[in-house]
Amino acid sequence: MVRTKKRSKAPFLFVLIFILLIASVGTFIYLSMRPVESSDQAVDFVVEEGIGTAGIADQLQEKGLIRSALLYKVYLRIENEGSSFQVGNHALMPGADYASITAALNQKPNGNGNSADPNASVKVTIPEGLTIKQIAERFEKAGNWDAKSIRQLSREPQKFSEDLPAPIPDSQDLQYALEGYLFPDTYEFVANASEEDLVRRLVQETTRKLQSIPNFDQLLKERGLSVHELLTVASLVEREAVVDSERPLIAGVIYNRLDDSMRLQIDATVQYALGEQKERLLYSDLKIDSPYNTYRNEGLPPGPIAAPSLKSIEAALQPEASDYLFYVTKKDGSGEHLFAKTFAEHEQNIEKSKEGN
């Protein structure tokens, strides 16, 4: 009887393990080289003088712009890239692949610190109720524009005279002449737009929005207001109202107090004068010496204290008539207010609000 020699399974298992290992490594590399999740918000990335490609790769991973610094280093070596990276600030978009990131870093940054790709764009959302200072900070964070330059431009309304809906009063009391004239919305700008381009666009949008209101000029005349006064009242409504349905009623209260020569005593004006949003104002805060402090001064503040929405502008233009002179925020989380005609009723409402009613 002839016995056949059994073949060892070891070579087959070795080949199988080797194939699985190669497949696993390939999958790992593929997944690690995939772009990170995309976003509309650019990330400020600085290439410092003297830093090498290894350091740049490490920082890209730390910033969440790539998944693997190691693989990006390998990519740069294979593609013979990295020697032309430009020193300075670059606005990089999350979700870009290695080639796009490399191309952006090869671009010389412009004066705003953005990579000078003429096709690049930056989307910026300006919420209602922000101040000039907060808007400037938004732009600086979103596209690395200079917040200080934006604030300075907001003190130079003459540069935007053809874009404004009406001339702005020449008053030394105005903290920022263009406060309230930069319309809150979502905008998209080319990455190399100048700070003046940004401000002009927002001013133009305010003019456009006002012109879109039916019978705007007639309604403004009937109220006996200038555009500047209208935007000032609208900014107060914006900072005081949470519930849309209450905006016209709050505007009506403001006008009632003005007609009765009562001080407005609006906390938001004190916060603006302080330059910070405090959770709770102290009695000492209410004594701040500022033309914006409506606890100390009669009438409207010198100008707007925030960027009003179209709803607040419309409420200031067409307020709801009532005999109310006071209101207090409910403490039930609804954002609604309790309104009163007399101070005695107002005191009762204050107690109710504390009870969450």
| pLDDT in the model for residue 334 | 83
Chain centroid to Cα 170, Å, comes to 28
Q: Which stretch of 27-36, 129-138, 287-296 has the lowest confidence by average pLDDT?
A: 27-36
- Structural domain boundaries in the chain: 38-117, 132-322
CA separation for the pair 233, 172 (Å, rounded): 20
| Mean of pLDDT values over 17-28 | 64
Task: Name every residue whose Cβ is closer than 8 Å to that of residue 51 and which is 6 or more positions away in sequence.
Answer: 59
pLDDT in tens, 262-302: 999 999 999 999 987 777 888 888 989 999 999 999 999 99
CATH domain 38-117 topology: Dna Ligase; domain 1 (3.30.1490)
Assign 210 a pLDDT band (cuts: 50, 70, 90): very high
Instruction: Return the SS3 of 73.
Output: helix
Residue 226 half-sphere exposure toward CB, CA atoms < 13 A? 11
Q: How far apart are CA 163 and CA 201, in angstroms?
A: 9
Q: Which residues lie closer than 8 Å to 160 by C-beta, 6 or more apart?
A: 178, 199, 200, 203
Confidence at residue 279, expressed as pLDDT on a 0 to 100 scale: 74
Q: The tokens of 191 are what? A: 């990455």
Q: 79: which 2 tokens?
A: 């593609």
Please compute the mean of the pLDDT values over residues 330-336 and round it to a whole number.
83
**DSSP secondary structure code for residue 298 in this structure:** -
pTM value is 0.68
Q: How far apart are CA 357 and CA 341, in angstroms?
A: 18
Residue reference for tokens 């349905």: 245
Q: In this predicted model, what pLDDT tens digit does every residue of 156-209 receive, in sequence order?
A: 999 999 999 999 999 999 999 999 999 999 999 988 889 999 999 999 999 999
Q: Are 32 and 68 in contact (CB under 8 A)?
A: yes
Start-to-end CA span in the chain (Å): 102
Q: In sequence order, what are the residues at sequence separation of 6 or more whose Cβ sits closer than 8 angstroms to the Cβ of residue 222?
A: none
E-only strand ranges, 269-340:
326-329, 337-340
Q: Residue 156 and residue 176: Cα distance in Å, rounded?
A: 9
What amino acid is encoded at 114 in this protein?
N
Which run of H or of E encompasses 61?
Answer: helix 53-62
Q: Strand 337-340 and strand 43-47: pairing? A: unpaired
Helices 310-317 and 227-240: crossing angle in degrees, nearest 10, is 120
Query: In this predicted model, what pLDDT tens digit does every residue of 219-263 receive, in sequence order?
Result: 999 999 999 999 999 999 999 999 999 999 999 999 999 999 999
DSSP string covering 95-151 = T--HHHHHHHHHSPB-TTSSB--TT-EEEEE--TT--HHHHHHHHHHHH---HHHHH
pLDDT classification of 354: cutoffs 50, 70, 90? confident
